[in-house]
Amino acid sequence: MGDLFGEDQERRPTPQPKGRSEAGERRNDRPEPPRPLADRLRPRKLAEVVGQEHLTGEGGALTRMLANRSLGSLVFWGPPGTGKTTVARLLASEVDYAFEQISAIFSGVADLKKVFESARLRRQNGRVTLLFVDEIHRFNRAQQDSFLPVIEDGTVILVGATTENPSFELNAALLSRARVLTFRSLGPDSLGRLLVRAEEETGRKLPLDDAARGLLLSLADGDGRAVLTLAEEVWRAAGEGETMDPETLLSVVQRRAPIYDKGQDGHYNLISALHKSVRGSDVDASLYWLARMLDAGENPLYLGRRLVRMASEDIGLADTNALTVALAAKDAYDYLGSPEGELALAEATAYLAAAPKSNAVYVAYKAAVRAAKEHGSLLPPKHILNAPTGLMKDEGYGSGYRYDHDQPDGFSGQDYFPEEMGRQRFYEPTDRGDERRLGEHLSRLARLREERGKT
């Protein structure tokens, strides 16, 4: 199990010839390489954890648990670099539990059995085991189920860490036995405190001007481990007496990819933000979320399809050009590709956000679907059925049908619903955009229908 544990776990060194290291060098010939800054600054107590005060501060969920000297099984949900592993270690230390760590990426059922057996032996000797499972969502359903009996009988206190929404990725049975605690991305203040600690630890000031320092915090994208890694890169690259500006900083660290998984939460969170910004008629926010998704590598044609959906669902007949614009943008990107075609998507996004909004057709269609399911297979009224044979004419098919184009106002006012169902009203136009005119027209037709006794 040695290679399944975290880097802080003790490992027994491989025996070497006296006076020599693994590489065959004399042990004192070279100094031990410095540990990464993020490891050197790992908090030694919960009070040193930054950015998670809602959990570790006064009155926080973890603070309350520790006050009772008792922990239950937990799931830590949050972005990378927010302290999930560190907090789990500190919890075990605070209550004097044995700490074991495995990763769901590298472990299987055999590894779990070994961990559970070790935990049972400790329990027989009066010691509780806190088992920290990193990336717990990577375990399949059967593997997740294997935790249930050892949680229930107290063999382990499980602390799972995940970057994905536990509601979607973890078994309901497992979730019912564990409390989910949400870890938040670190804000600029928290990241700034980490940089100050790094400067105190190294005894060196970061060679950045104020603008570059602010940019470094932004590049870390809420990840505490990342901000310290970036700081190390800056120190390694800086020349004697140099103070970097933002342009120099970018050339040194390049850029850090945004936290975004096209198949997971990041994807759904951002497309939700884009859709709701368009629905809320916020052009600037809509363009921002579009740019965020494109910058993160989202498939532009997926975004084009979603814009078509927005045009149908949230604008509808309030602007009859909206669907045409969305379809044209999708086709334009398909024709031009990147980066030229992305401007067409931006144009459509701005148009849809600025357009008058109506979901009247969307609501009407859902109501029509419900009615279709509720009323079953009713036949159309006979007067609107074709009668290509004599038998069908004898049965009354087509009898009484009036051709609308031959009627006054081009409108017969006849009923087209099944006779057993009666007239229904699903569509209620708004008074916004093109729908105002459409609503006035439909109201006039309704009056004519009533006047002609066809209600």
- Do 157 and 238 belong to one domain? no
In a domain, 176, yes or no: yes
pLDDT in tens, 231-247: 999 999 988 889 999 88
In a domain, 198, yes or no: yes
What is the DSSP track for 119-167?
Answer: HHHHHHTT--EEEEEETGGGS-HHHHHTHHHHHHTTSEEEEEEESS-HH
Helix 188-202 / helix 210-219 crossing angle, nearest 10 deg: 110
Last residue of a domain, one of 293, 320, 354: 354
- Do 349 and 391 belong to one domain? no
In a domain, 42, yes or no: no
Residue 455: the pLDDT is: 42
- Do 68 and 160 belong to one domain? yes
In a domain, 390, yes or no: yes
The answer, yes or no, to whether the previous bond of 388 is cis (omega within 30 of 0) is: no
Q: Which residue has the tokens 């290291």?
A: 21
Q: Is the pTM of this model over 0.85?
A: no
- Do 275 and 209 belong to one domain? no
Instruction: Identify the domain containing residue 197 by its residue range.
Output: 188-253
- Do 82 and 110 belong to one domain? yes
Last residue of a domain, one of 182, 210, 237: 182
Q: How many CB atoms lie within 10 A of CB 352?
A: 27
Question: Distance (Å, rounded) from C-alpha 224 to C-alpha 449?
Answer: 68
In a domain, 258, yes or no: no
User: HSE on the CB side for 226, CA within 13 Å?
Assistant: 22
Structure tokens at 341: 């075609």
Give the list of residues 6+ apart from residue 126 with CB closer than 8 angstroms, or none: none
- Do 15 and 152 belong to one domain? yes
Residue 260: the pLDDT is: 58
- Do 84 and 134 belong to one domain? yes
Phi, psi dihedral angles at 208 (to 5 degrees): -130, 140
* The dihedral sign for the CA sequence 205, 208, 213, 215: negative
Residue 263: the pLDDT is: 54
Last residue of a domain, one of 182, 214, 245: 182
In a domain, 359, yes or no: no
In a domain, 259, yes or no: no
- Do 23 and 132 belong to one domain? yes
- Do 389 and 310 belong to one domain? no
Residue 22: the pLDDT is: 46
Domain count, the chain: 4
Give the list of residues 6+ apart from residue 245 with CB closer than 8 angstroms, or none: 209, 211, 212
Radius of gyration, alpha carbons of the chain: 33
Residue 259: the pLDDT is: 56
- Do 349 and 405 belong to one domain? no
In a domain, 367, yes or no: no
Q: Which residue has the tokens 């884009």?
A: 274
pLDDT less than 50: residues of the chain? 1-15, 17-24, 454-455
Which amino acid would we find at residue 383?
H
What are the percentages of helix, strand and coil residues in the chain, rounded to 5? 55, 5, 40
- Do 14 and 126 belong to one domain? yes
- Do 158 and 62 belong to one domain? yes
CATH classification of the domain holding 435:
1.10.3710
